[in-house]
Structure 1
Amino acid sequence: MSEDPFRQFGTWFAEASRTEPSDPNAMTVATIGEGGRPAARTLLLKGWDERGFVFYGNLGSRKARDMAGNPNVALLFHWKSLQRQIRIEGQVTQVEATTADEYFATRPRTSQLGAWASEQSRPLASRAMFEERLHEMEERFAGKPVPRPDFWSGWRLKPDYFEFWQGVDFRLHDRVIFRLDGQSWETGRLYP
């Protein structure tokens, strides 16, 4: 186990990227909404470095509203075939517009159009209505690049806590934690 949680994340993430059959960057993102009600959903990690962990979505979504009201967020990566999980906690901030623009430009065109067509987390009368909106966006942006909508961006979670969990037979798991204390990381272990 590295003494640096980012280096340890990189080691485990690289191994998961080589061995997991589908979306090794999938993570559960847990937020806290109105009245302290928790909500969790699976998103894809789209970038990370020592500044934090980056993911994207609609600024009108429930997750965005939750994070605007309470920036404390938890991430959970679970790689069952490796018997590993990583919990990361911290606070989120919205990424810079240029960062969101750069990432949006790399998305498949249909995903870009879908971002325009979706009123994410809002009630939808029928699937046909969404498909009609998507068709309207295809016509609107026919023959030209699809710009990032101003209602779509990303967030960066700056961690202050990591937990690395390694499954061991007979539920004798190994749990190593890193807690930020000022500018340095304190490390320790938890009982399984």
Structure 2
Amino acid sequence: MTIYSLYIYDRHCACVYYHDWHRTKPPRVANEGGGILPAVSHQIYPRKDGAALDTNPRNTLMSSSGIIVAVNDEVPRTPLPGATQQVPANAGLPFDEEAKLVYGVVLSLRNMVKKISGKDEGFVNYRTSTYKLHLYETLSGYKFIMLSDPNADSLRFVMRQIYAGPFLEYVVRNPLTQMDSKESGIDNEYFRTSIDRMIRGLSVFN
């Protein structure tokens, strides 16, 4: 059993945080104008320089012409003429479409559960043959969504710990973080590092 990914949505239905661990299909870079906030994740925000997507930061062969270009890792790359974005063969949907689909599924299932079962019954998870989706919603409207192995037990307690621990400590109580600004995701490396450490320490992670 393992954990695949974590999404956090705010009260405006916008994805403000994303983290993955064991995905077989990595997300593609979000489309320009797709509505994805900056700082949601380092790997899915559109590249402003138009440079080719390169999974190896030290790869110096920039084109099929055989021209070797010296690259400094700290300097933004300038794409060669005719360079196109290289997308891994097993890459999934662009992240902006993926984030909308995940939120749409949760919203639809939650509304269906409320209509069928009444107000006392809440939607907390569902399972398919390949994954299990877990939902934890806070009173302030934030939705924590986690995808895991289909045989995993409920992970609501994990998302509750994330909310009561790193989220309150590094996001809510951080005066430098603008809540509901609609301008940026959760740009806090302490928060990201704390979540990564917490998830990797779970027995279900391996």
TM-score after normalising by structure 2: 0.25
Structure 1 or 2: larger strand share? 1
TM-score, structure 1 as length reference: 0.27
Of structures 1 and 2, the one with the larger relative CO (CA 8 A, separation 6+) is: 2
Normalized per residue, the structure richer in helix is: 1
